Structure 1
């Protein structure tokens, strides 16, 4: 019997080649998109999940109550980790870590290499699963001159792991560190990847401000003892900082613990609470994957039932010969499963074909585990689920035909069945409409980010890391660079202007209420900074060598002026870290962090020297980029021969802040287009079914004088009405979802009505184009042929 069913199924497949192709293509595309999305979701969920001690690992976050506002982030005092180990018996290990990686130059055995890495506390390798190929977790970062390097770094500099142990490394040609451990290359599914780790004490030696509890910036990680309660530790940690710095009702902070495995996906803060993050995109694509699979299944249902008239006599004959409804249901479900197997095979081929491009878009290294039994079990479950969902309604519908009416030719489709199929089409376009609107809104937000006036000109501006002789020979570099044709201005800053994350509350001013604490972002800059950045100076002036007292003076932004309570801040006095000076200038607010956050109060101080880890800023005149870069490379080789010339474009560094959004836009554009395509296949199926049901009606209308144009309008209006209904349902759902998504940005594009109108108009035009062929074909049928069969 099974052989007979398969024979009938393959006969139907080959007999209706166009129908077979459309059905398999629609289902395969839906499955391909869904599988791609689920592979991306699975990759996101696997990030940081490999650490053996994950259940006991936590990251500390800080919540600040200031100016009647609650803010929070992961920046903590640089000495917190060591203090937690000292005073909390529940803490087994704790490690501070630089908030973000830096790129530095290393030299050993006549080889020079530039790699990205970080500083961290001595407990790092005791806490996290970064397998050591040489050395032990206890000795890896045990001294201030210790450095742990990756297997890749060991191979490049020393030719192997064992050869690297105990060797000296020259760091930025200024310090030397000894290799005390070699760790396996950090896996791709790690949120923090690095090639080297230097002992934390070395960081504190070059950043003494991080030894003060009033300053924050580094990250703090803790690992609790096996039986310790995270809730109890959290209670102790909550007001810990109040014992080390002055806090009161006007300003106080709280610290809390977040499971380390949650940080990657849940890293946004709203009103001081952890709320959202990349998990929003995981949810978005998980839902989209289900949506696309449902759209594909609904498309299959419509196309299958569209063929019902052609198969009605077959069903009638089979029933007359004794076939019961249950047997027919099994047959049609089996055919559906066969379609699904073929569609899955096509989908796996397409995934294999396009996976490299998908990895390039998502910046991941996803692979398909063909050798995994679990993977094929999931594929089997997907086939069964998709086959039963897509084949359920056609099986129930086709098996319900009355054989007497079918064989007499008097069988008609009941109204309920017709409305059900129309409901399926509406459902398809509701899902597609939501995806299209969401894609347009996300694309607009990304364009808004890319084109927003940041308060400085990020075009034609490059950053050059300060390293080696650039520190001592900055004046020589600046003089030579300014003499180059095409260079407009040169300055320097202690961090990239794209992301200034250092902050302090150790600032006093005249009129400050006793006990008041305000958090200010801080950065050290050089002369001509405002010119190099093209900042707008609202009050006062930039730093100048003509004023020797500027060494103790400050420049602030508008937000800082408001916090200080000054209408005209120039000439007013502030005291930062015990250095009292005047405010000499106020710059217009500019964005120096992600648009997720409001612009913070900023204090800029004059750098007493060029800081290692800082950056030179070079403003290039338009049209001279190539020549200037070549000249700068030659200059750097002359005055800094130990280091390769390295530079970054300001606009590219800015775009790095929004990599996630850019990936989402690219994926959304592709998947939304495919969702519309598959939905239109379902609409085509309904058009085919309707045409078959109304072919005699059309013949009668033509005999009575109806024109082709009027018949086209009559048939098309019904389908367009379904699309309009779907859009009316989809629009409020999409508005609510995207309104919530945009709230994660302090600065975002407005959610305007024309977005919904554009989405709706586009979908209606595509839908009209889809049904046009079938409706025109039906309208042109010779009425003699259709009425002769009555």
Structure 2
């Protein structure tokens, strides 16, 4: 019986080649898109879920209450991990992590930059990365311990075996001993590093991390087997009160602690009012819905074309019923046809997947591989095939099998208004989804253009960063003096942060008239002379730091937001206390964006520090002379700092990295919107062809009676345009709500204006007209004699 079903199904496919092509093309594209998104979603969900004791790993986070706000952060005091291990019986292991760094290592004449971090000695007991050499207990148990990746071991020593026990020079200042070699980190790890130094080494360079009053290093704990996470979280809520001597009745800065499964942090890494809310999971959800949308659009094409062509198969169904075919047998026949088309579509979709995956990886910056050797993947493909085939074929099967054989064989069969209305409803639903995708794409594109073109308050063009490392830290003044005499260089300064990523904050600021019941957090950074000039900031009052004023060592520059919170009317010369040190305001600058536009500009205090040994040198190059400036800087760096390779970054590139996720979403939205429209228009083309075919005699009669080609074109296309307009009216409020929710993630955003929906409507109407126009014009130009002679 199954063989007979498939044989008949194949004959029908061959007989209706155009309809078959449209169905297979639409389903193939829809399935390929859905499989791409499925692979991406699987990759996202797999991040950090592979650790041996993943169910017992938790990140500690803070809920900071100050200035009538509650902020959430993963930054914790440096001693937290060690103290929790001592006093909390539920904690089996605890680890503090340093910050990602790009440092210089040397073995003999080989000098290489490596990405890495620092961690306390229980790191490999918590994170079950595979160790090729050494063991988890001794990998980081001394101040000179260094754990490196297989890649780093091969780069410096040839092999992991040859690396163990060897000495390697770090930043031309310390010698470390290789005590462990770990396998290169898996692609689905959120942590990216090629080396880890011991936590003691981090503390030597960052003494502030020993203080309970400072936040920075993340803390991760592994709970003991059987420990209750909810009870543990309740116990540590006020853990920091003792160490910070916090009186909750009088304190203006209160910190509560919470825990989050480490495997969830990658996807759920955002905070709203101190609570974990959203993150990358939002994009996973969005594109999961997009995948379903696109597949639905393809399935709707199949339903529409099959039910539209039902009249063509009416006599076949009537004869089958007369000779005894049961309705269940007819349903099986049509479902078999649907599954056959879907199976063929899956084959073409997999071929498309092979072609599209490299481009998809490039856009998403992933390294997803086709899991053709995994049984689970093929199981999912089979499930998708069955579900798609059943959804696509269900309505046509039920509809066609319900025909009355007497009416069919008498030739009096007419499709009732319900069937026609349902088919039109499906077309409207298709284009509702398409309009939502188009509108979303336009809004995302506008927001990204707004971010790119918005005045940040400083000029990020022709601005270059060089890391302040090695001899550059001690000979900065010499570097600056010589650099200013070289071609292409306009001005030079220094800064402890990158200008687009200043995150350090403090509450240790006092002033005359300060409200002691409110704790205001100020972002702070330290800079060198000529900072305002090099950044091209706008000075509202006062002046920049200068060598001509020795007292500038206690001088401070504020941004507008800081001045507003402090409240001084005539700020220049007014006193401030910063970390217990008496200072005074020497300048006020216009607010500039020093972090992502997801955040509002916060109060900023800028200090002058001539002795800072870390951070960046900022170089402003002359327009059009960047290449000459880079050559000048490379020559100078090799002269002053020969033990370090010359490295640099452009300010505009660093700014782009702040919106990496949004850029990826924008590119994917463009691609998927185009494909959704393509699939919808395939269905529209099929329906237009069928409608023209069904009305061929009507068209002939109208032409004989004097109808013009333009009037016939309007007649044939107006039905479809009306459906598209209805879809636009339904989709617009949905798209307005959805895009508004997405834009709420930006403190600075472009408004969603009415013309965005008008543009979406115009695009979809023009595309629909272009789709049906060829067929409509073709039908209108047919010789009426041939039309009236046709059977």
TM-score normalized with structure 2 length: 0.97
Give the match for residue 45 of structure 2: 45
Instruction: Tell me the SS of whatever aligns to 1:322.
Output: coil
Question: Would the aligned equivalents of 1:148 and 1:198 in 2 still touch at CA under 8 Å?
Answer: yes
- Select between 704-713 and 241-250 the one with higher mean Cα deviation: 241-250
Instruction: State whether residues 407 and 413 of structure 2, in contact with CA within 8 Å, keep that contact through their aligned partners in structure 1.
Output: yes
Counterpart in the other structure of 1:741: 742
* Correspondence for 2:436 among 414, 434, 442: 434
**Residues 486 and 624 of structure 1 are in contact (CA less than 8 Å); yes or no, is this contact kept in structure 2?**
yes
Per-residue deviation, residues 595-645 of structure 1 (Å, max 9, x unmatched): 111112222211232423x11100011100111111211111111111111
Deviation at 1:203, TM superposition (A): 1.5
Counterpart for residue 608 of structure 1: 610
Task: Specify the alignment match of 1:60 in structure 2.
Answer: 60
Q: Deviations over 1:561-587 (max 9, x none)?
A: 122222332212222223221111122
* Residue 450 of structure 2 corresponds to residue 451 of structure 1: no
2:114 maps to: 115
The whole-number CA distance in structure 2 between the counterparts of 1:227 and 1:570 is 60
1:527 shift after superposition: 0.9
Task: Give the equivalent residue in structure 2 for 1:32.
Answer: 32
2:551 matched to 1:549? yes
> Could you tell me how far apart the structure 2 residues matched to 1:362 and 1:180 are?
36
- Equivalent residue, structure 2, for 1:772: 773
Deviation of 1:694 after TM superposition, in Å, equals 3.2
Measure the CA separation in 1 of the matches of 2:565 and 2:178: 47
1:229 match = 228
Indicate whether 1:653 and 2:651 are aligned. Answer: no
Equivalent position SS for 2:474: coil
| Number of residue equivalences | 788
Distance in 1, matches of 2:752 and 2:238, equals 40
Output one character per residue of 1:183-223: Cα deviation in whole Å (capped at 9) or x when no partner.
11111111111011111222222122222233222212122
Match for residue 697 of structure 2? Answer: 696
Alpha-carbon distance in 2 for matches of 1:167, 1:520: 45
Give the Cα–Cα distance (whole angstroms) in 1 for the partners of residues 779 and 396 of structure 2.
24
In the TM superposition, residue 386 of structure 1 has moved relative to its aligned partner by: 0.7
Report the CA distance between 1:241 and its aligned residue.
2.5
Q: Measure, in 2, the Cα distance between the counterparts of 1:554 and 1:175.
A: 35
| Structure-to-structure mapping, 1:431-510, within 5 angstroms | 431-510=433-512
Once the two structures are TM-superposed, the CA of residue 558 in structure 1 deviates from its matched residue by 1.6
Secondary structure at the counterpart of residue 658 of structure 2: helix
Deviation at 1:42, TM superposition (A): 0.9
In the TM superposition, 1:562-601 aligns within 5 A as 562-601=564-603
Contact between 2:56 and 2:223, CA under 8 Å: does it hold in 1?
Answer: yes
Structure 2: gaps spanning 5 or more residues? none
> Are the aligned partners of 1:309 and 1:692 in contact in 2 as well (CA < 8 Å)?
no
Judged with a 3 Å threshold, the aligned counterparts in structure 2 of structure 1 residues 739 and 295 are, in CA distance, closer, same or farther, namely same
Q: Judge conservation of contact 2:238–2:256 (CA < 8 Å) in 1.
A: yes
The 8 Å contact of residues 528 and 609 in structure 2, kept in 1 or not, is answered as yes
Pair 1:677-2:671 in alignment: no
Match in the other structure for 1:131:
130
Per the TM alignment, residue 788 of structure 1 is displaced from its structure 2 partner at its CA by: 4.4
Kept after mapping to 1: 8 A contact 2:487/2:632: no
Whole-angstrom CA distance in 2 between matches of 1:279 and 1:460: 36
Q: Does 1:714 find its partner at 2:715? A: yes
8 Å CA contact retained: 2:61, 2:76: yes
TM-superposed CA distance for 1:62, in Å, is 1.6
The answer for the alignment partner of 2:356 in structure 1 is 354
Deviation at 1:784, TM superposition (A): 3.9
CA contact (8 A) 2:67 2:518 kept: no
Unaligned runs of at least 5 residues, structure 1: none
Using the TM superposition, give the Cα deviation of residue 743 of structure 1 relative to its aligned residue in structure 2, in angstroms: 1.0
Provide, for residues 640-690 of structure 1, a one-character-per-residue CA deviation record: whole Å limited to 9, x for no partner: 111111000011011111111111111110011000110111222332333
Offset at residue 691 of structure 1 (A): 2.8
Q: CA deviation at 1:345?
A: 0.3
Q: In the alignment, what sits opposite 2:85?
A: 85
Displacement of 1:110 in angstroms is: 2.7
Q: Is the contact between residue 22 and residue 683 of structure 2 (CA under 8 Å) also seen in structure 1?
A: no
Indicate if the aligned counterparts of 2:76 and 2:215 stay in contact, CA closer than 8 A: yes
Give the superposition deviation at 1:145. Answer: 2.0
| Correspondence for 1:641 | 642
- Matched-pair contact (CA < 8 Å) for 2:474–2:613: no
Deviations 1:322-343 (A, max 9, x none): 3332222211111111111110
CA distance in 1, matches of 2:61, 2:107: 38
For 2:397 and 2:785, the matched residues in 1 are separated by 34
Asked if structure 1 preserves the Cα contact closer than 8 Å seen for 2:133 and 2:182, the reply is yes
1:88-145 CA distance string (max 9 Å, x none): 22222222212x4110100113321101111122221111122211122221111222
Q: Do the aligned residues in 2 keep the contact of 1:215 with 1:503 (CA within 8 Å)? A: no
Q: Is the 8 A contact 1:466 1:610 kept in 2?
A: no
What SS does the corresponding residue of 1:70 show, helix, strand or coil?
strand
Report the counterpart of residue 620 of structure 1 in structure 2. 621
The separation in 1 between residues aligned to 2:404 and 2:495, in whole angstroms, is 83
The alpha-carbon distance between structure 1 residues 77 and 569, as it changes in their structure 2 partners (threshold 3 A), is farther
Stretch moving more, 243-252 or 263-272: 243-252
> Comparing 224-233 with 589-598, which one deviates more in the overlay?
224-233
Tell me which moved more, 369-378 or 693-702.
693-702
Q: What do the CA deviations read for 1:74-101 (whole angstroms, capped 9, x no partner)?
A: 2222222222222222222222212x41
Q: Which moved more, 1:709-718 or 1:380-389?
A: 709-718
Q: Give 1:243 shift.
A: 2.4
Give 2:275's aligned residue: 273
Contact 2:532–2:544 (8 Å) recurs in 1: yes
For the 8 Å contact 2:19–2:686, the answer to whether it is kept is: no
* 1:233 positional shift: 2.2
Partner residue in 2 for 1:10: 10
- Who is 1:166 aligned against? 165
CA, structure 1 residues 783+413, in 2 after alignment: closer, same or farther (shift >3 Å)? farther
> What does residue 632 of structure 1 align with?
633
The separation in 2 between residues aligned to 1:50 and 1:784, in whole angstroms, is: 72
* Contact kept in structure 2, 1:216 and 1:504, CA below 8 Å: no
User: Which deviations, in whole Å up to 9, do the C-alpha atoms of 1:335-382 show, x marking residues without a partner?
Assistant: 111111110000000101121111111111111111111211111111
Displacement of 1:516:
4.1
Q: In 2, Cα distance between the equivalents of 1:707 and 1:671?
A: 39
Deviations 1:401-457 (A, max 9, x none): 333433443321111111111011011111111111111111222222222211111
For 1:254-273, what aligned pairs fall within 5 Å after superposition? 254-273=256-275
Task: State the shift of 1:43 in Å.
Answer: 0.8
Residues 25-49 of structure 1: CA deviation (Å, up to 9, x unaligned):
1110010111111111111111111
Report what 2:174 is aligned to.
175
Moved more, 236-245 or 278-287: 236-245
Tell me, what secondary structure is at the counterpart of 2:762? helix
SS at match of 1:216: coil
1:92 aligned counterpart, secondary structure: strand
TM-score (normalizing by structure 1):
0.97
Question: 1:729 deviation in Å?
Answer: 1.2
CA spacing shift, 1:721–1:754, aligned 2, 3 Å: same
In the aligned structure 1, how far is the partner of 2:307 from the partner of 2:81? 66
| Alpha-carbon spacing, 1:599–1:214, altered in 2? closer, same or farther (3 Å) | farther
Match of 2:75 in 1: 75
How far apart in 2 are the matches of 1:123 and 1:595?
37
How many Å separate the matches in 2 of 1:196 and 1:544? Answer: 40
Distance 1:444 1:510 in 2: 45
Distance in 2, matches of 1:80 and 1:399, equals 70
Distance between the aligned counterparts of 2:755 and 2:376, measured in 1? 46
